[in-house]
Amino acid sequence: MLARNDLGAAGLDRAERSTSLSLVDAAEQCIPVDEDEDVATQAHFSQGTDDDFIAAVKGLFQLRRKVAAERLGICETMLKRKCRRNGIARWPYRKFKFFRDRIHVVRASGMPVEDKQVLVDQLEFMMDILRQNPNLEVEELSSRFPHVTEAHRTLQPGSSSTQS
């Protein structure tokens, strides 16, 4: 996106500038105006109920915050503010990445297929718990499922023991 000072350098006249840039509302938050759908989405999330926002954002936790904001049609700052207002202290992308990485390690391991599936199901269940409460720490979730953590340790590269 062009900054306000870059407009003249880009050779855009005033009419082009007003339609191609994002506007800034009273709270200094970006509101995309290129498409009516983006404006409607942004207005929905800025004025809609918190339940609507939480329902929409839960499916985006596995994405980086910037990508999630783009999908919602709002800027990152608004996403952070709405999340904090709704009790989500930090964007949980890295927590989900942690579990996705563990699932990948389990699937790539030489474990029997049935054991792999049990561990993958348990890791996915842990991700579902995290989706319901993104403020949980990974260590807290791992302590609730010590057998999953122990099984994962045996699968780590450089580990001397293997699970049979």
DSSP string, 63-123: S-HHHHHHHHTS-HHHHHHHHHHTT--S--HHHHHHHHHHHHHHHHS-S-HHHHHHHHHHH
pLDDT at 120 over 90: yes
Total-model pTM: 0.60
Residue 49: band (very low, low, confident or very high) from pLDDT cuts 50, 70, 90: low
Q: What is the pLDDT of residues 75-95, one digit of tens each?
A: 999 999 999 999 999 999 999
8 with 18: CB under 8 angstroms? no
Q: What is the pLDDT of residues 1-37, one digit of tens each?
A: 444 444 444 444 444 444 333 333 333 444 444 444 4
80 with 91: CB under 8 angstroms? yes
What's the mean pLDDT in 125-153?
Answer: 81
**Identity of the residue numbered 63:** L
Per DSSP, the three-state class of 164 is: coil
CA distance to 46, 97, 107, 113, 141, per residue, from 145 (Å): 38, 18, 18, 20, 7
Range with the poorest average pLDDT among 97-101, 135-139, 143-147: 143-147
- Quote the percentage of the chain above a pLDDT of 90: 42
For residue 57, the Cα-to-chain-centroid distance in whole angstroms is 8
* Between 69 and 141, residue with greater pLDDT: 69
Nearest C-alpha neighbor of 20 from the set 41, 43, 3, 37? 3
Q: Note the pLDDT of residue 84.
A: 93
Q: Note the pLDDT of residue 48.
A: 57
